């Protein structure tokens, strides 16, 4: 089967473990002929949202990917928000996919997917969404114009041809219905996954020991791990502030550091129980999780949540619950 993944509503980041990376890889491993068409938006230096040249190449998994350029619409702001692309329909007709998986319907060029679906009615189309009330539509203009009018229109253009709209969290299923008016019978929850080719729980004890040795920790040391893109909404500096005075608890942080939080973050690294290891390769993330006694994400959702859960380690997504556990642990040590 020919499967085309469209990553045109947002960024596509090479060598990461986002759903846009893992799902095409999984489809390819199952023997399908897989293609990716993506925007030029990505992370620059693993830190900042930026744009690269439009080009075709192979992903780290050997999947053909084509980055399409935007059609300019008056201003840069309108261009990157409306997302009209050059050459999309040509890509569709050249590939002739049996199935199209649209990662986010938030691009005006979606009308070209409709055009293709009309011409090739046997094409199966799925749409997923990563938008919710916490990461999207935070301003009046964004919510009431961009999402409730423009992106809603995009959803309605493609809706008659879609087999299923997937929300990647239960809240995102609600968002699909509430904001874009997608019928509930067309919406289904699609849990985010992890790379099963990388995670080997049978080696967890060995990985834990090796990682602790590499980072100069003892087996009995209590280690908390957190990470990802280190930005304000992830509240990692709040976790650092909470743990800085707990000398018997070690906090290990990985990820790329953004400028908005750099000064505050670096000021907290003076505490000897806080270790920052910088950005790490996506496949190494699982090793850090398996090394931990607890993994904590005090801020907004990240795909790392599901990856941490896959490593069979206690995970905390609420600071209060985590601190209650830490308080009990601390009293036990005393």
Phi and psi dihedrals of 115, rounded to 5? -55, -40
For the segment 156-167, what is each residue's pLDDT rounded down to a tens digit? 999 999 999 999
- CA–CA separation, 87 vs 159, rounded Å? 22
Q: Mark residue 87 as left, alpha or beta (left: phi above 0; alpha: psi -120 to 50; beta: remaining).
A: left
The answer to which of 38-42, 79-83, 150-154, 199-203 has the lowest mean pLDDT is 199-203
User: Domains of the chain: which residue ranges?
Assistant: 2-189, 201-333
* β-pairing verdict for 187-189 and 222-227: unpaired
| pLDDT recorded at residue 161 | 98
Decide: residue 195, CB within 10 A, 0-12 exposed, 13-18 middle, 19+ buried: middle
| pLDDT recorded at residue 334 | 46
| pLDDT recorded at residue 333 | 56
The answer to whether the CB of 159 falls within 8 A of the CB of 127 is no
- The CA-based angle 267-268-273, given to 5 degrees, is 145
- Tokens at residue 284, please? 């190494």
The answer to which of 137-146, 151-160, 210-219, 313-322 has the lowest mean pLDDT is 313-322
For the segment 270-294, what is each residue's pLDDT rounded down to a tens digit? 999 999 999 888 889 999 999 999 9
| pLDDT recorded at residue 49 | 85
Domain covering 2-189 in this structure, CATH number: 3.40.50.2000
Q: Which of 132, 82, 137 is nearest to 111 (CA)?
A: 82
Domain covering 201-333 in this structure, CATH number: 3.40.50.2000
Beta partners for residue 85, in sequence order? 70
Kindly tell me if the per-residue pLDDT of 331 is higher than 80: no
């Amino acid at each position: 089967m020919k499967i085309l993944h469209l990553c045109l509503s947002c960024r596509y980041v090479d060598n990461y473990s986002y759903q846009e990376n893992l799902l095409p890889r999984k489809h390819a491993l199952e023997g399908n002929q897989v293609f990716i068409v993506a925007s030029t938006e990505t992370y620059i230096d693993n830190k900042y949202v930026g744009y690269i040249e439009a080009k075709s190449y192979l992903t780290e998994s050997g999947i053909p990917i084509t980055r399409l350029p935007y059609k300019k619409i008056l201003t840069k702001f309108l261009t990157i928000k409306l997302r009209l692309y050059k050459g999309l329909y040509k890509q569709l007709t050249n590939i002739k996919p049996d199935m199209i998986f649209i990662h986010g319907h938030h691009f005006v060029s979606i009308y070209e997917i409709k055009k293709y679906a009309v011409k090739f009615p046997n094409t199966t189309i799925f749409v997923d969404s990563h938008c919710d009330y916490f990461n999207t539509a935070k301003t009046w203009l964004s919510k009431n114009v961009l999402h409730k009018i423009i992106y809603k229109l995009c959803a309605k253009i493609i809706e008659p041809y879609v087999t299923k709209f997937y929300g990647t969290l239960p809240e995102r299923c609600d968002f699909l219905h509430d904001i874009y008016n997608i019928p509930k019978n067309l919406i289904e929850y699609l849990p985010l996954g992890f790379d099963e080719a990388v995670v080997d729980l049978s080696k967890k004890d060995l990985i834990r020991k090796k990682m602790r040795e590499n980072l100069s920790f003892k087996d009995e040391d209590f280690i908390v791990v957190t990470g990802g893109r280190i930005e304000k909404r992830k509240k990692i500096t709040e976790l650092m502030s909470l743990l800085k005075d707990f000398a018997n608890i070690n906090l290990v942080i990985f990820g790329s550091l953004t400028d908005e939080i750099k000064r505050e973050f670096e000021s907290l690294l003076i505490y000897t129980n806080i270790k920052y290891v910088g950005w790490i390769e996506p496949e190494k993330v699982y090793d850090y999780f398996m090394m931990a006694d607890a993994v904590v994400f005090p801020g907004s959702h990240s795909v790392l949540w599901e990856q941490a859960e896959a490593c069979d380690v206690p995970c905390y997504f609420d600071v209060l619950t985590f601190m209650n556990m830490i308080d009990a642990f601390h009293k036990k040590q005393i």
